[in-house]
Structure 1
Amino acid sequence: MLNSQGVDTISSIISPEGSLEVLSQHEVNRLHRTSKSGLHDLLRRCALAVLNCGNPTDDSLEILETYKDFDIEVLQQDRGIRLKITNAPAEAFVDGRMIRGIREHLSAVIRDIVYVYNEIQHHKRFDLSTAEGTTNAVFHILRKAGTLKPGRDPSLVVCWGGHSISREEYEYTKDVGYHLGLRDLDICTGCGPGAMKGPMKGANVAHAKQRRRDGRYLGVSEPGIIAAEAPNPIVNELVVMPDIEKRLEAFVRLGHGIVVFPGGVGTAEEILYLLGILLHPDNHEMQLPLIFTGPKSSEEYFHRIDEFLVYTLGEKVRKHYTIITGDPTQVARLMRKGIDEVTDFRRTHQDAFYYNWRLTIARDFQSTFEPTHAAMEALALHRNQPTHELAANLRRAFSGIVAGNVKEQGIRAIDKYGPFKLTAEPELMRRLDVLLSSFVVQGRMKLAGQDYVPCYILN
């Protein structure tokens, strides 16, 4: 049937898949109450994003406007729950039945949002104002989602990169994923399109060739991002963290190595987050291989990133990453070698393989940043401060631009109050302008074919 916007939709009642099948009566009651509470709007937005995964857009506000009539309700039954879906995107169904992978992702979204709301944010045992409490909360969310695998040797490669990349860059991410997969390595990404999908696709083929039947394609998202970057269909494990900071911490606690492909401000945010942590004195012995890579045509992109990092964080930052262009095989070989060294390091120090407890993460990188106009303008963007603090503030600046580009709340704030204003010392501002302008020219701010209007002004 057509909704009020003239878009084909389907209404249905479905059972959960992959999560929530076995519940106590108390859990059923709690889920039912939550679906009727103030949390309903968050559930609705995230569920719609998952169901809309076949449509190429990264504008969460546009999705909500297109499906104004969409709704989801948790129905209470003696044997568990069922999900009542009203006016959902028709692409999520085949002959009236919801696609199984989408049903799995939808169940995971509900599981994580409800668990965080009931057990983390409103539970006294988690003090989210402390570093220890936050790290413990991240651990419990990941454990609840089943992402911690204590019986496996280190193998998880986190792949970061843009959702808006060229076809050549996308094919390269698949090639890297393929060579990683041939070496028995698994893939973790932000779960969306572009550089988040390509490595999974390549690794999936390699795992099939190696007859590896337990390959992991782990997607880690958060409510604001998932609404703009729905999980790609290869993701077989999905976890939704409560905010961007806990999402980033999940990546670095779970991952045994990290590969960064070309991207935009979101990728720059991830790079600054990781390097700011690795530059902390407590982490000087930390084993975590980090490779920046792309096709030969991406050399200019990585030159700009490298130049900006050295100016802002110092020459010492280069010891933490290797840049390789045009050689997927070398990337995979180096990553395999690095993860073998991670395995030896953790075995020697009797550390867990599945969660990096040893990594020190300063509170500046854990504290939730709300990108309001006032908060963006107040950011301290100057070099007269400790390196890790500058990295944290630059990370926040890029996070705010991501919000203004693709997140519903950020888009609405820009529409109402105009672009975010960023203020920095002159030379840093010039270099920031060069970097951001290069992202715009290269089409890395929005999905291909979409005109980009900057959501920021540099003062």
Structure 2
Amino acid sequence: MRNVINVSVSPKGTLETLSQIEVQQLSAAGSGSTYRLFRQCALAILNTGVQIDNAKAILEAYEDFDVRIHQQERGVRLELINAPADAFVDGEMIASTREMLFSALRDVVYTESELGSPRIDLTNSQGITDYVFHLLRNARTLQPGLEPKMVVCWGGHSINTEEYKYTKKVGHELGLRSLDICTGCGPGVMKGPMKGAAIAHAKQRINNGRYLGLTEPGIIAAEAPNPIVNELVILPDIEKRLEAFVRVGHGIIIFPGGVGTAEEFLYLLGILLHPDNQSLPFPVVLTGPKSAEAYLHQLHAFVGATLGDQAQQRYEVIIDDPAAVARAMAQGLREVTDFRRAHNDAYHFNWLLKIEEGFQLPFDPTHANMASLQLRRDLPAHELAANLRRAFSGIVAGNVKDKGIRRIEKHGVYEIHGDESITEPLGKLLEAFVAQHRMKLPGAAEYVPCYRVVA
């Protein structure tokens, strides 16, 4: 039996007021779409800690959940009806949950209002990057003057206990070196480094450590934010989220994961392989405990088989050595600092990084779009990486996103076509993910693939 609560909450320093038009947009009787988007994000945040990675299941479990926005003379107030009771203690909402709830309101409101602005141009690369910049600035994520120390950690939400403990050890080593953490804000690898860094920051008497979580509506509904996140930003789609990672992050550590991690890794490699980015320092480390060595070598081999030696040279593989990972990242960040100082590039936003439109334009994983992906050997490496990233993005949607799950239920599995020299290693990597239980949370029902790889 569900345990729910009805309550009213007010913001605390995140979003003080809304206009009448914004309140109308967020009401169920208004435009509708903005309300549904915020309701979905709010329900995910209130479910923080729940081990469910299926957006459809969460939305169906709380069909009677409602959120109403009231504008008052002293600011905005949220009325929550049939909200998950785990988000409250003695009738009071947990502080981190309240902060993230109003961060979601802030981002949904700003995203919707900015899309109608004449200065927003999403038809070209520069305009998209400018839009990402404004979204992050509005969320107060960009802090000029701080030297590069934001480490992005990517990896799976569906990892075993040993792998999770390893991510905490790496986060601890990073925190001891006064580095901050940015993740996708959910469980697993998105939580472990933050938890380790929080302990290390306490040891070093650092009371302003940053634990930045970047997500998007389709992901947050399936992977609720972990409670350590103290800065939450909801980007409008996966492509804006990925660009935000590489624009605000100064280095990236990739832990064991599944298709979502592979998607992020290929996105990163595709960008770094662009000729304009060859001389730009961007430290990347692929790491995990000894028990994950086979997985790391499989991913490394897949990169070599599809994108070649040049791609493998853009990152370092370190097995079972958290201190070595942290030292490598700290050294890489010193190089980033020197480079940006020499080229007058901002510390807080990586303007010099070249990102082509193919990595920025949203990919809608319909069955037709998935089947028509160009996975050809004759493509330039960075273009092939972009298309491989889209293939993994579609599988993520079919696995955990409400819209993708419903498409699979209606039309059957996705078909992914391409040259055999690409589809063969792709198929083997996906089979390994399934065999290693990297597609679902531990304890979930047996995984049923939402795709079929065709040579």
The TM-score, its normalising length taken from structure 1, stands at 0.97
Q: Distance in 1 between matches of 2:83 and 2:409?
A: 27
More deviation, 408-417/9-18: 9-18
Contact 2:194–2:228 (8 Å) recurs in 1: yes
**Cα offsets for 1:352-378 (capped at 9, x unmatched):** 000000000011000100111111111
Match of 1:149 among 123, 133, 143: 143
What are the equivalent positions in structure 2 for 1:156-171 lying under 5 Å apart? 156-171=150-165
Tell me, in whole angstroms, the C-alpha distance in 1 between the residues paired with 2:19 and 2:118: 22
**Structure 1 residue 429 and structure 2 residue 420: aligned?**
no
Which secondary structure does the structure 1 equivalent of 2:236 belong to? coil
TM-superposed CA distance for 1:28, in Å, is 3.0
2:38 is the alignment partner of 1:43: yes
- State how far apart, in whole Å, the 1-side matches of 2:50 and 2:75 are: 31
Structure 2 Cα separation of the partners of residues 242 and 189 of structure 1: 17
Are residue 457 (structure 1) and residue 452 (structure 2) matched?
A: yes
CA distance in 1, matches of 2:21, 2:140: 21
Counterpart of 2:178 in structure 1 is 184
Task: Give the deviation of 1:252 after TM superposition.
Answer: 0.2
Conserved in 1, the CA contact under 8 Å of 2:100 and 2:232? yes
* Structure 1: distance between partners of 2:165 and 2:279: 35
The within-5 A match list for 1:42-441 is 42-119=37-114, 121-441=115-435
Q: CA deviation at 1:17?
A: 2.8
Deviation at 1:54, TM superposition (A): 2.4
Match of 2:6 among 4, 11, 30: 11
Distance 1:285 1:253 in 2: 16
Cα deviation per residue 1:157-181 (whole Å; 9 max; x = unaligned)?
0000000001000000000000000
Distance 1:310 1:18 in 2: 48
Q: What secondary structure sits across from 1:16 in the alignment?
A: coil
Separation (CA, whole Å) in 1 of partners of 2:451 and 2:424? 14
The alpha-carbon deviation at position 18 of structure 1 amounts to: 3.8
SS at match of 1:446: coil
Deviation digits for residues 95-129 of structure 1 (CA, Å, limit 9, x no counterpart): 1111111010000011101101111x221101111
Q: Distance in 1 between matches of 2:21 and 2:184?
A: 29
Measure the CA separation in 2 of the matches of 1:129 and 1:85: 38
Identity %: 58
1:34 aligns to what? 25
Secondary structure of 1:320's counterpart equals coil
Take 1:124 and 1:267, find their aligned partners in 2: how far apart are those partners?
35
The amino acid of 2:348's aligned partner reads Y
C-alpha distance in 2 between matches for 1:11 and 1:287: 51
Quick one: which amino acid aligns to residue 20 of structure 1? Answer: L
Output the amino acid matched with 2:45: V
How far off is 1:59 after superposition? Answer: 0.5
- 1:18, 1:107 within 8 Å by CA — same for their partners in 2? no
CA RMSD of aligned residues (A): 0.9
SS state at 2:313 partner: helix
Q: CA deviation at 1:388?
A: 1.2
Superposed CA deviations along residues 344-399 of structure 1, whole A, max 9, x for unmatched, are: 11111111000000000011000100111111111111212111111111000000
CA deviations 1:241-297 (Å, max 9, x no partner) are: 000000000000001110000000000000000000000001111111000000011
CA contact (8 A) 2:26 2:69 kept: yes
CA distance in 2, matches of 1:322, 1:312: 18
The aligned amino acid for 1:34 is Q
Amino acid of the structure 2 residue aligned with 1:235: V
Q: Distance in 2 between matches of 1:358 and 1:378?
A: 32
Q: More displaced, 130-139 or 300-309?
A: 300-309
> 1:433 is paired with a residue of what secondary structure?
helix
The code of the aligned residue for 2:26 comes to: S
CA drift at 1:31: 2.7
Q: What residue identity is the alignment partner of 1:223?
A: P
2: CA distance between counterparts of 1:359 and 1:434?
Answer: 32
Paired positions, count: 449
Q: Any unmatched runs of 5+ in structure 1?
A: 1-5
Q: How many Å separate the matches in 2 of 1:262 and 1:118? A: 38
SS of aligned partner of 1:126? coil
Distance 1:341 1:213 in 2: 26
- Counterpart residue type for residue 440 of structure 2: K
- The answer to whether the 8 A contact 2:377-2:421 is kept is no
Aligned partners of 1:96 and 1:213: how far apart in 2? 28
Q: d(CA) in 2 for partners of 1:429 and 1:141?
A: 37
The alpha-carbon deviation at position 151 of structure 1 amounts to 2.3
Checking the alignment, whether the CA contact within 8 Å between 1:17 and 1:100 is kept in structure 2 is no
Q: Can you give the 5+ residue segments of structure 2 that lack an aligned partner in the other structure? A: none
**Which one-letter code corresponds to 1:455 in the other structure?**
C
Deviation at 1:79, TM superposition (A): 1.5
Q: Determine the C-alpha separation between the residues in 1 that align with 2:76 and 2:205.
A: 36
Distance apart, 1:13 and its partner CA: 0.9
**Which AA in structure 2 matches 1:64?**
L
Say if 2:147 and 2:337, in contact at 8 Å, map to a contact too. yes
Tell me what 1:3 maps to.
none
